[in-house]
Amino acid sequence: MFIYDFAQGNKDMRDLLGGKGANLAEMTNLGLPVPPGFTITTEACRTYLETGREPAELHDEVTAHLTGVEKARGKTLGDPGDPLLVSVRSGAKFSMPGMMDTVLNIGLTDQSVRGLAEQAGDERFAWDSYRRLLQMFGRTVLGIDGAHFDEALEDVKRDRGAEHDVDLDADALRGLVRTYKSIVSEESGRDFPQDPREQLDAAVRAVFDSWNAPRAETYRRQERIPADLGTAVNVVAMVFGNLGPDSGTGVAFTRDPASGARGIYGDYLANAQGEDVVAGIRNTVPLADLGQHNKEAYAQLLDIMATLEGHYRDLCDIEFTIERGRLWMLQTRVGKRTAAAAFRIAVQLVDEGLVEEDEALARVDGHQLAQLMFPRFDERAQRTPIAKGMNASPGAAVGRAVFDTGTAVDWAQNAHEQVILVRRETTPDDLDGMIAARGILTSRGGKTSHAAVVARGMGKTCVCGAEELDIDLGHGLFTAPGGVEVREGDVISIDGSSGEVFLGEVPVVDSPVVRYFEGELDPDAAAADELVGAVHRLMTVADDRRRMGVRANADMPEDAARARSMGAAGIGLCRTEHMFLGDRRRYVERLILAEGEREREEALEALLPLQRDDFVQILAAMDGLPVTVRLLDPPLHEFLPDLTELSVRVALARERGKEDSGDLRLLQAVRRLHEQNPMLGLRGVRLALVVPGLATMQVRAIAEAAAIRADAGGDPRVEVMIPLVGAVQELELSREDAERTIAEVRQRTGFSAPIPIGTMVELPRAALTAGDIAQVAEFFSFGTNDLTQTTWGFSRDDVEGSFFSAYLEKGVFGASPFESIDVDGVGRLVRIASEEGRASRRDLKLGVCGEHGGDPESVHFFHDVGLDYVSCSAFRVPVARLEAGRAAV
């Protein structure tokens, strides 16, 4: 059975009937006025694609179901005296750009067009329908460039002095049909088929074929939609919105999909057919106006919309047509919506008793929440939109337009200007400019273009593929539609959440959602807006349901305080590298250059109180909550002067005969410490083992800080984390040293609270020997950034800007493994280490630090693996809380 009548399907059959077919069936069975029709299944399409031919039974099945439709309408397809007409509509499980467009009015021929005119008593209508068929069939089935038809239409309109297509009379349209037919003959090499069934079969086959259109294929690979699903085809009896002023067609939403406000919302166009509403052929009127012209149909429409919402328990969007006063439903589906609307509607539905809290939580996601947290352009401000591209990386950026990387870096660094880097497309050569810019604007490329991938990786605002812009790099300017010219240095504003480009500066405001998280907005106050209230409600549900804790990565006291207000239950990663920077670099230099124990100890002695102070402040900000401090991780040469700069300095001094012995020694040290692959060099626990006293000093600073906090009446809960361990022996050695130091501090200060010692798991070897390592570690924290680098053999800094966009385009992965955890590879290591670690130490605490801790999909994975907490940047904490809740329901 390759065909289902609308009465035979239902909304849960999307695999077989596609989204459109399943919902048409559902509406039919709800008793709503859907024109009769049937759905050819995705299975028929799959057979066709595999074998190159329709299944043998299909022809007869089409005949049988077509006869059913003919009976229901009392007409025969293409009958010269009184023709039944049908539409042929594609409809896959997931809606997909690149799939074939709908063909309306199939069944019209040189004969039946006259029958249609007679039956309807309207010549104009019949010829209008016929010219539409020729145009749609020619373009989508025969693959003729649509411009031919558009030009011919414009010519007739010009000749007749007609402003709109409705102003053309029957005579003009008859002439247009003649022209269209000759376009078809000339461009396709054959005449337009005059056999109605041949039209139908050709259209069905074209829908099947469109599954493999290049645009559809690319889209599928990127969205990870399996390539073998196939599409269904819907054949629907035509109803006519172009039968005069009491006819029309429209689209509607049961709530506002932009804001989420209650109340219906939509557009209507009288005397029109199909896509006219969205194609902007004429000006539509708001849906409510329909109520004035046709009370009855309008009331029925409202009634149906209420039925659909109650039935789908969600926002629905619909397509409908009114034929001479009578309402027909042509499509419905659970409607797309903005992030703000998603939150508001989810909570409204709870209040209306339509869904439970858990379900409401499932209907929003962390990506939407993140969107709501970006700063935005002030909506009340005056804005001058000049173009629209793709919303590649969210945010609101304002700056001076610059057209090359050199200028971007120069202006940003030397003139402290905010710049927007404008390029046709970016390449790895533009990396420095992208880093220096506030935002990036390109005229070419989609969401996996180099610009888009790199911008998202950097968290930088990006609008890409703004094709209307004509960028003239040579003259340092671009032109936008309407002749607007923007030269180097002119200020523009780009909105990475909507893809809009504005001329001049649009003021930026903080998101109210962030102000709420930071405690500036009271969600219960009457004045709080509905969106903030909705976010608050769903966050409360998420916090209640989640099993995992959420901590933050924070290195400074201010970050810690901010993270706490965002709901972080501690610090999962406190890096200590910044404690060696700035003025403190000279102590690091002294440490490295030290000759003999005395000098080295002096350098460490100088660093100790500074670090201790830092820890005291962070522990104060996180009083009562765990703080995991990671011992120094990066290679020491990162704290020394650059090799080239220092070499030049030394050489110059030598020429002048003023050699500086300090500089000379420093240069030798820099040369000695230089590494080909610093990422794989002397860093992490390796430093603790071979640089005497360094880790000891850090542990002492940590323990003494805890003691100071406890003395002051605080509740310090510090944990020591040893990075980059690959072998249990490394951890044993560094742990012994740390324990000795802690014991000595305890003795001196009387401090007695526990200081757990654990390790970061960020090397495959650590994951694979986790059972042994857990014997010596009280906790594991998965460092998924480094674990991804070391598992894939990718150097993050090098690959993201070079070949990752190509990998995404070719579909090697759907998202960068640095953004979303690679479940099959890196994830497998996490799973092995968790299981084997817990097997050897039952109460081993497991967490993750690194960007993945704030990525929605990764959070679900970490929940499934059984981690105790995730840790992410402060800004991502609410996202992780929400997703940890969603993972648990």
Give the binding range for ligand ADP (CB under 6 A) out of 150-158, 236-244, 388-396, 598-606.
Answer: 236-244
Q: Report CA torsion sign: 287, 293, 295, 301.
A: negative
* Helices 339-351, 530-545: inter-axial angle, 10-degree rounding: 70
Q: Check if the beta carbon of residue 238 is closer than 8 Å to that of residue 89.
A: no
Helix ranges (H only) for 717-842 are 728-749, 764-768, 770-774, 784-792, 796-799, 804-809, 826-840
Pick what 238 binds: Mg ion, ligand ADP, none; C-beta below 5 to 8 Å, kind-dependent: ligand ADP
Pick what 239 binds: ligand ADP, Mg ion, none; C-beta below 5 to 8 Å, kind-dependent: ligand ADP
- Report the C-alpha gap between 702 and 8 in whole angstroms: 70
Pick what 879 binds: Mg ion, ligand ADP, none; C-beta below 5 to 8 Å, kind-dependent: none
Residue 786 known to bind ligand: yes
Give the binding range for ligand ADP (CB under 6 A) out of 230-238, 300-308, 644-652, 667-675.
Answer: 230-238
Residue 145 known to bind ligand: no
Cα 668 to the chain's mean position, in Å? 49
Pick what 783 binds: Mg ion, ligand ADP, none; C-beta below 5 to 8 Å, kind-dependent: Mg ion
Kindly state the smallest distance separating residue 184's Cβ from ligand ADP, in Å.
21
Residue 800 known to bind ligand: no
Kindly state the smallest distance separating residue 49's Cβ from ligand ADP, in Å.
20
Binding mask 56-95 for ligand ADP (x = CB under 6 A): -------------------------------x-x------
Pick what 335 binds: Mg ion, ligand ADP, none; C-beta below 5 to 8 Å, kind-dependent: none
Give the HSE-up count for residue 407: Cα atoms under 13 Å, Cβ half-sphere.
15
Q: Check if the beta carbon of residue 77 is closer than 8 Å to that of residue 200.
A: yes
Q: Is 28 in the site for ligand ADP (CB under 6 A)?
A: no
- Report the C-alpha gap between 610 and 592 in whole angstroms: 18
All residues at 6 or more sequence positions from 330 whose CB lies less than 8 Å from its CB, including other chains: 34, 35, 236, 239, 318, 319, 320, 321
Among 184, 238, 339, 631, binds ligand ADP (CB under 6 A): 238
Q: Check if the beta carbon of residue 253 is closer than 8 Å to that of residue 262.
A: no
**Binding residues among 148-187 for ligand ADP as defined by CB under 6 A:** none
Question: Of 329 and 397, which CB lies nearer to ligand ADP in the complex structure?
Answer: 329
C-alpha distance from residue 721 to each of 418, 507, 759, 761 (Å): 39, 43, 5, 10
Residue 276 known to bind ligand: no
Which residue spans within 496-575 are E strands per DSSP? 500-503, 508-509, 549-553, 571-574
Pick what 274 binds: ligand ADP, Mg ion, none; C-beta below 5 to 8 Å, kind-dependent: ligand ADP
Q: Is 477 in the site for ligand ADP (CB under 6 A)?
A: no
Residue 784 known to bind ligand: yes
Question: Of 40 and 603, which CB lies nearer to ligand ADP in the complex structure?
Answer: 40
Which residue has the CB atom at the shortest distance from Mg ion?
Answer: 786
Where in the sequence numbering do the catalytic residues fall? 450, 849
Secondary structure (3-state) at 462: strand
Among 115, 274, 549, 801, binds ligand ADP (CB under 6 A): 274
Pairing mode, strands 757-761 and 549-553: unpaired
Question: Of 319 and 851, which CB lies nearer to Mg ion in the complex structure?
Answer: 319
Give, rounded to a whole angstrom, the gap between the first and last alpha carbons of the chain: 38
Q: Is 104 in the site for ligand ADP (CB under 6 A)?
A: yes
Footprint of Mg ion (CB under 5 A): 319, 331, 762, 783, 786
Pairing mode, strands 316-323 and 390-393: unpaired
* 576: number of Cβ within 10 Å: 20
Q: Is 239 in the site for ligand ADP (CB under 6 A)?
A: yes
**Binding residues among 181-220 for ligand ADP as defined by CB under 6 A:** none
Kindly state the smallest distance separating residue 278's Cβ from Mg ion, in Å.
9
Question: Of 89 and 423, which CB lies nearer to ligand ADP in the complex structure?
Answer: 89
* 87: number of Cβ within 10 Å: 23
Question: Of 284 and 331, which CB lies nearer to Mg ion in the complex structure?
Answer: 331
Question: Of 86 and 454, which CB lies nearer to ligand ADP in the complex structure?
Answer: 86
Q: Is 35 in the site for ligand ADP (CB under 6 A)?
A: yes
CA 572-562-527 angle, 5° bins: 135
Pick what 786 binds: Mg ion, ligand ADP, none; C-beta below 5 to 8 Å, kind-dependent: Mg ion
| Helix (H) or strand (E) run with residue 715 in it | none
- As given in the structure block, the two tokens for residue 553 are 């990565």
Question: Of 374 and 869, which CB lies nearer to Mg ion in the complex structure?
Answer: 869
Question: Of 90 and 112, which CB lies nearer to Mg ion in the complex structure?
Answer: 90
CA 166-79-236 angle, 5° bins: 65
Question: Of 104 and 685, which CB lies nearer to ligand ADP in the complex structure?
Answer: 104
Kindly state the smallest distance separating residue 23's Cβ from ligand ADP, in Å.
11
Residue 630 known to bind ligand: yes
Q: Report CA torsion sign: 410, 413, 415, 418.
A: positive
Kindly state the smallest distance separating residue 101's Cβ from ligand ADP, in Å.
6
Pick what 209 binds: Mg ion, ligand ADP, none; C-beta below 5 to 8 Å, kind-dependent: none
Pick what 741 binds: Mg ion, ligand ADP, none; C-beta below 5 to 8 Å, kind-dependent: none
Helix H, strand E, coil C: the string for 118-176 is HHHCCHHHHHHHHHHHHHHHHHHHCCCCHHHHHHHHHHHHHHHCCCCHHHCCHHHHHHH
**Residue matched to tokens 């149906």:** 304
**Binding residues among 320-359 for ligand ADP as defined by CB under 6 A:** 321, 330-331
- Report the C-alpha gap between 454 and 466 in whole angstroms: 17
Q: Is 140 in the site for ligand ADP (CB under 6 A)?
A: no
- Report the C-alpha gap between 193 and 629 in whole angstroms: 76
Give the binding range for ligand ADP (CB under 6 A) out of 235-243, 308-316, 404-412, 463-471.
Answer: 235-243
Q: Is 521 in the site for ligand ADP (CB under 6 A)?
A: no
Question: Of 232 and 477, which CB lies nearer to ligand ADP in the complex structure?
Answer: 232
Binding mask 500-519 for ligand ADP (x = CB under 6 A): --------------------
- As given in the structure block, the two tokens for residue 523 are 């969600």
Kindly state the smallest distance separating residue 366's Cβ from Mg ion, in Å.
24
Cα–Cα nearest to 530, from 316, 372, 333, 317:
372
For the annotated binding site for Mg(2+), the residues are: 762, 786
For the annotated binding site for substrate, the residues are: 575, 630, 762, 783-786
For the annotated binding site, the residues are: 575, 630, 762, 783-786
What is the contact surface with ligand ADP in residues (CB under 6 A)? 35, 87, 89, 102, 104, 236-239, 274-275, 319, 321, 330-331
